[in-house]
Amino acid sequence: MGSITRSLSNNITTGGVILPAGITNDSVSAVTSFANASGGTLILLSTQTASNSATISFTTGLDSTYDAYEFHFVNIHARAGTLFTFNFSTDGGSNYNVTKTSTAFLAYHTESDSLAALEYNGNWDLAQGTGFQPISQDYSDADNNMGGTLQLFNPSSTTYVKHWISNINTLYDVYSENIFTAGYGNTTSAVNAIQFKMSSGNFDGIIKLYGLKKS
Residue 126 CA to residue 102 CA, distance in Å, equals 5
For residue 72, give the nearest of 14, 152, 7, 3 by alpha carbon.
152
Q: Shortest CA distance to 89 belongs to which of 63, 59, 125, 127?
A: 59
Domain boundaries, the chain: 1-32, 42-212
pLDDT at res. 117: 97
* pLDDT number for residue 3: 57
pLDDT tens digits for range 114-151: 999 999 999 999 999 999 999 999 888 889 999 999 99
Strands of 55-143, DSSP E: 55-58, 68-78, 82-89, 100-110, 116-120, 127-129, 133-138
Residue 26: what pLDDT?
55
What is the C-alpha to C-alpha distance for residues 75 and 172, in angstroms, rounded to an integer? Answer: 13
What is the per-residue pLDDT across 3-32, written as a single tens digit (0 to 9) for each?
Answer: 555 555 676 666 555 666 665 655 545 555
Q: What is the pLDDT of residue 103?
A: 98
Q: CA-CA-CA-CA torsion for 46, 52, 57, 58, nearest 10 degrees?
A: 0
Residue 185 confidence (pLDDT) above 90: yes
Query: So what's the architecture of 42-212 in CATH?
Result: Sandwich (2.60)
